Amino acid sequence: MAPRSNNPSPRSTFHQDLPLNPTPRSHSIVESIYSQSQYSESSDSTAASSVDDAHPTLRSLRPGVYVPTVTFFQADTEDLDLETIGKHAVRLARAGVAGLTTQGSNGEAVHLTHQERKLVTRSTRNALDSVGYHHLPIIVGCGSQSTRETIELCREAMTSGGDYALVLPPSYYKAMYKSESLVEFFEEVADASPIPIMIYNYPGAVAGIDIDSDVITKLAKHPNIVGCKLTCGNTGKLGRIASFVDAATPSEEGSGFMCMGGSADFTLQMLVVGGSGVVCGLGNIAPKACIKIIDLYKQGRLEEAKKLQAVVARGDWAAISGGIVGTKSALETYYGYGGFARKPLPRPNQQEAAKYASGFKELVELEKSLS
């Protein structure tokens, strides 16, 4: 990749010394990679080596529902099923989501090589562009255990068509970190990343590390940190952060900082305390139902929103308790595709598949009734 400055990318920010909608820092995406329906290792290396600071317009994040997409595999080989990955992305886009996330927990990022991560993001971008969703942003999971590899993943996300990086804190050497280690980690990644980053707080995935609101609001002052995703479910924390940064909401532009919930089961609660939206795995199953909660809230139809939130929360429990295995099983049952997770995750037997289907049944019926 061509040499580049480590100056951070600007964002819409609550700082008075920065404009509300600054011109985005250029970041490189190679046009030629979007014209390919399948990607070989050789074509990827060729595309990556030809990057030379081309800069498409930065796709803006807007409040709403973002879906961390499932990664699909061939049943017999466990190779990537790029065709299904693309078709699924288009289905979600047509449902009206605000954006997609690749390489998250639902995307089995921990089961993928660097090369496969790039192929998934690139195939998603290609599929969206092919049907006119050029404007839809892609957030790419880029968490790793070292600062160096995290920055490398951010750069690979950019060259693969990603617009933003979602970054977990490292956790393997948790006991050895100093109090300032996580702040330094996120600042150094933000300094070096060619795309803006979002802080990902998910204690269950990182040995219990739970980033508090003081740390997140301090990091939010960095011009290349544009949001956070709180899968901790702490709406009090979310409200504190949203208030401090004047977060964007479905009805107010605010500073542009995105303060996102990480699960569909507290979408309405997130909205009440001033949040921006959700990045929710349940959106793979029922994107329209998740979006409808936000629409009802914006319209002031709170009783209807509460009733819908209850249905979504019940469905989300099926997603949470079944994990990616249950989500893929439900996709297979109700939409005719889904397949299986990579080993060593188990393949559900007939009885387990029926259990997963039952857990999602109420929500899927609602989803299919929405126009």
Catalytic residues: 229
Q: How far apart are CA 246 and CA 234, in angstroms?
A: 18
Alpha helices in the chain (DSSP H): 41-49, 82-95, 114-130, 147-159, 181-192, 213-219, 235-245, 267-272, 287-298, 302-335, 350-369
Beta-bridge partner residues of 166 = 141, 198
In three state form, how does the secondary structure of 240-301 look? HHHHHHCCCCCCCCCCCCEEEECCHHHHHHHHHCCCCEEECHHHHCCHHHHHHHHHHHHCCC
Neighbour-count burial for 244-257, b at 16+ CB within 10 Å, e otherwise: bbbbbbbeeebbbb
Tell me if 258 sits within 8 A of 80, measured CB to CB.
no
Among residues 348, 116, 331, 363, which one has the least CA distance to residue 264?
363
Beta-bridge partner residues of 278 = 65, 261
Q: How far apart are CA 160 and CA 118, in angstroms?
A: 6
Q: How far apart are CA 358 and CA 50, in angstroms?
A: 49
The residue whose two tokens read 């994040």 is 61
Q: How far apart are CA 59 and CA 137, in angstroms?
A: 5
Query: Residue 244 carries which side chain, given as an amino acid letter?
Result: F
The residue whose two tokens read 């005719």 is 336
